[in-house]
Structure 1
Amino acid sequence: MHIAQKAACVSLLLSVMMGGTAVHAQVPPATTVPPAVLGQWVTRNHKGVFEITRCGDNLCGKLVGLNYSDGIPRDQTGRSECGLPMLRDFVRDPDQPDRWDGSILDPNTNHVYQARMWVNQSGQLKLRGYLGIPMFGQTQTWLPYNGHIGPDCKMST
């Protein structure tokens, strides 16, 4: 079975498992199957939601939702953190195609760190920020976000 055929079978199976209708499903070629990291993810402390999208040939992510009670959180320069592009230039790792390598901005310090992200078997996004090599870093676990984001980037609770 060719790779494209395997990808089509997996995609069709996932469509059926997620409640889609297999009768009318059209499976895109294997090269256009979106990576599992695309979508909205809530941070480990449930204070923010990031949306990971395609940016040309790469992936990027920005803060789209915040959990706050008094005024929109702002960065060091006074700008709203809402919409801040913090995940930048992620490219598929050639040795591990399920992983993406790029950089992440810490808005509190304006430092940019190298980063790696992937989705584990439980459907959680793993994001590892590091200096130099991944061994010297920290991994956060983010969950898919299915809530609502209201006006002014406010997350529903």
Structure 2
Amino acid sequence: MHTAQKATGVSLLLSALIAGVAVHAQVPPASTLPPAVLGQWVTKNHKGVFEIAPCGTHLCGTLVGLDYSDSVPRDRTGRPECGLPMLRDFARDPEQADRWNGSILDPNTNHVYQARIWVNQAGQLKLRGYLGIPLFGQTQTWLPYGGHIGPNCRMTP
């Protein structure tokens, strides 16, 4: 190989390496990207909307929208369900970075269950509530909410 060819080859190699470093430097690591679970999600039965947002070092979910006709539904203690923090203390799963582990409150029974949330490839939120181990649980599919929340927590199309 001639000296000019070697210089051109080295130059191309350096250009490719620098371009690769520049592209790599522009993409933040997965841990700094906002979690896919953030946002508003309508429940399986389309009767409620939860907003999942950071709360301290964890993620939490609050019931922000309800489909009702007369008055704001209340839990069994008489509290309005609107604004109720039902998804609590979700932390990133150390073994699966796209999943979050925490707990969920059932407002009808006041029981708290362990839960796991994640977003599947179709962009749906999966919520698995369980006792003890995830094997003994149930998974619901929630969809991104594209409607509006009106006064008194009322869902509007």
1:66 and 1:155 in contact (8 A); partners too: yes
TM-superposed CA distance for 1:77, in Å, is: 1.6
The RMSD of aligned alpha carbons is 1.8
Structure 2 unpaired stretches of 5+: 1-19
Structure 2 SS opposite 1:5: helix
Say if 1:7 and 1:30, in contact at 8 Å, map to a contact too: no
Taking structure 1 as the reference length, the TM-score comes to 0.82
1:5 aligns with 2:5: no
Quote the sequence identity (%): 77
Which has the larger helix fraction?
2
Q: Greater CA radius of gyration, 1 or 2?
A: 2
Distance in 2 between the 1:58 and 1:5 partners? 28
User: C-alpha separation between the residues in 2 aligned to 1:35 and 1:114?
Assistant: 20
Residues 15-45 of structure 1 show CA distances to partners (whole Å, capped at 9, x for unaligned) of xxxxxxxxxxxxx665431100000000000
Displacement of 1:56: 1.1
Paired letter, 1:137: G
| Cα separation, 2, equivalents of 1:144 and 1:156 | 15
- Equivalent AA in structure 1 for residue 72 of structure 2: I
The 3 A distance-change label for structure 1 pair 154 and 30 is same
**Which residue in 2 is equivalent to 1:108?**
108
In the TM superposition, what whole-angstrom CA distance separates every residue of 1:109-150 from its partner, at most 9, and x where no partner exists?
A: 110000000000000000000000000000000000010000
**Runs of 4+ more than 2 Å apart:** 4-7, 28-32
Return the TM-score normalized by structure 2. Answer: 0.82
Task: Name the amino acid aligned to 1:134.
Answer: P
Distance in structure 2 (CA, Å) of the matches to 1:90 and 1:74? 24
What are the Cα deviations for residues 51-109 of structure 1, in whole angstroms up to 9, with x where unaligned?
Answer: 00001110000100000011110111211100000000000001000000000000001
